[in-house]
Structure 1
Amino acid sequence: QAQQELEQKISVAEKQKNEAIPRSLGEAQQMVEQAEGYALNRVNRAEGDAARFRALFEEYRKAPEVTRTRLYLETMEEILPKVGKKVVLDEELSGILPLLNLEGAKRPGGQS
């Protein structure tokens, strides 16, 4: 009877081993594939960013002031809608409150 119990325990252990090893190998392979996909994504994004920077730099070399102004205006277009109240002060004006209220101002194309 002790021999039977031993053989039964060995059989159970073999079964567990035969289930655990393939599952672990599959999980490991999945982790490797995810890591490779992540690395490829990062490399592609970096290459795209570098290509955009090179193109922007070429435009800057051709017309520095125009490019600088364009970048400034594009940045303002992107961030100003996210800002709440906007107040623009004109340092040239004196004697009256040099204030331009942009809250209710209409944008070109009927957008506010």
Structure 2
Amino acid sequence: MARQTAHLSPTHEYSAALPPALDTTMSSKHIFDSPQGLVLKSLRGAVVLNPPCALTPTPNKLHLPFPFKPEPKRRLVVISGGGVDRQPAHVGYTGQGMPSTSVSGDIFPSPSAKAV
């Protein structure tokens, strides 16, 4: 079986442009029409995936309720949090042996000091 090779002329120019038939514009359709409530929706989904956690909707706090009341001197509470961006990453680190609470800000900004 003979191997075929392509022979190109040294004067051939290549173009990186896409053919006009391809539309490269982004779609204006979204899963959610408005960014309002997206943080709360994603936090509700995190609670469904991690049943021991509970959600305090205002101000976007996800916490792990302890089934027992430890002595106040012996309990260490670790808080994690940040801006949500495209997904609430800090929520995934809330649970047993991890931070007790995570506080999510809005779509890009971090949570306020009052929220923490």
Give TM class, smaller chain: under 0.3
The higher-RCO structure (CA 8 Å, 6+ apart) is 2
TM-score, with structure 1 as normaliser = 0.23
